[in-house]
Amino acid sequence: MKAAGKAGLLRPPAFSYRPRRDIRPRLSNRAQLFCESVSLERLAERHGTPLYVYSAEMIRARIKAFQRAFRAVPYTLCYSVKANSTLGILRLIARLGAGFDVVSGGELERVLRVKRQAARNVVFSGVGKTVSEMELALKAGILLFNIESPSELRTLAETAARLKRPAQIAVRVNPDVSAETHPYISTGLHEHKFGVPIPEALVLYREAAKYPRLKVAGVSVHIGSQITDLSNFQDALLRVAELVRQLRREGHEIRYVDAGGGLGISYEGLQQQFAEQISAYAEAVLQPLRGLDVHLLLEPGRSIVGAAGVLLTRVLYRKTNNHKRFLIVDAAMNDLLRPSLYRAYHEIVPVSCRSQEKETTDVVGPICETGDFFARERELPVVGEGDLLAILDAGAYGAVLGSNYNTRGKPAEVLVDAGKTRLIRQRESVKDQLRRERL
């Protein structure tokens, strides 16, 4: 059993409890959860639940922390779009000067919709790029293609030749380094589908140099997600550094090292000071690359937006089966899949502090699956039917993994910025879902 976080010690600078003084006596002076200076209860009243709420202040602070940590070297921050691809979030990140890491043509279309000029700082990763996706990226003039197989290299070479467009490439190498994370999000071992073993990569670079429209420009590596042991990054980049030296000895002009993403966050209780975490991460990444004179590409996603978002949900029913307690809420696995998919832990707290009494309960959704849960055997403050809960650290791999299972609409999403709120995604209705179907 794991207990909910203490009031006032949540996710600074974004989420904290504070008194809400309200003209309605029953709410007067009650401690409530706020996003920046905005009451989450007010947002739920206005937009309904389930509801994703994001803090622009936290996203801004975290990107600035990356910028400070890597300011001494040439680098480009390429936000990983798959972590959260909502256009309002992408626009905020683009305005902060970041580039983007995409893994599909659809993600690239989103980036181009937000800022077409951002293409020059886009890295295209992923094992299954189609010809149409390559065409889109070539026409947009992206920075770099991360190649993952000999067949993909040849397909890109043919597509670039047909369109008469240049393509800068890096080979994503598989360094056979364990990320020591959940097996579904570990990508750096030879048993995984990602990347090319380093000996095979050398052959692939030699082949790439023969194609006139391809420009060998870098080396890429990504060993997984939600990594908290920084030595794993260091081990992978030591192998990448040696490969860069070998490639240069063979005459390749290696300008970029793409260090990937994968930096984890704490989902349980208080989080480490982010500036300190990023400083340690920068040292782990940069130490193996010293003296190489390369332009570093970074692909953070979760570490930028994870703690910047919460999912608000309302308690529908309290239920007891024998001695087993359940809180049935209006959010479900189609809204936030991580607990069901990875058995991932998310801290859950009441939006309004009413009681000091605790109970051990499961927090579950209404979908007809036993796997539809957010917490099991969790010690939480006692809440009643109609009360609001906040599922913390839902800004990454939350809304973006949403589905319409059980013909449920996807939640609305709100961005809070300097006391102002903006609806960045409308709630999806059944009518929206049925529009593309035919009888």
* Nearest one of 243, 242, 283, 256 to 123, comparing CA atoms: 256
Would you call 100 helix, strand, or coil by DSSP? strand
What is 15-55+307-434's CATH topology? Lyase, Ornithine Decarboxylase; Chain A, domain 1 (2.40.37)
Active site residue 368: yes
Quote the pLDDT of residue 183.
Answer: 46
Q: Which of 27-36, 88-97, 139-148, 217-226 has the lowest mean pLDDT?
A: 27-36
Q: Locate 369 and state its tokens.
A: 């699956």
pLDDT at 99 over 90: yes
Please tell me the CATH superfamily of domain 125-300, with its number: Alanine racemase (3.20.20.10)
pTM of the predicted structure, to 2 decimals? 0.92
Q: Which two tokens stand for residue 350?
A: 């009441």
> Among the residues of 83-225, which ranges form H helices?
87-95, 105-114, 131-140, 150-163, 198-208
Predicted confidence band of residue 165 (pLDDT cuts 50, 70, 90): very high
Contact at 8 Å (CB) between 90 and 81? yes
Q: What is the mean pLDDT of the chain?
A: 90
Please confirm whether the linkage preceding 411 is cis (ω < 30° from 0). no
Statement: residue 7 has pLDDT above 70: no
Query: Averaged over 263-286, what is the pLDDT?
Result: 84
Q: How confident is the model at residue 223 (pLDDT cuts 50, 70, 90)?
A: confident
Vertex 61: Cα angle to 59 and 65 (nearest 5): 115
Calpha distance 364→320 (Å, rounded):
13
| Every domain of the chain and the residues it spans | 15-55+307-434, 125-300
Q: 371-380: per-residue pLDDT in tens?
A: 999 999 999 9
pLDDT at 198 over 60: yes
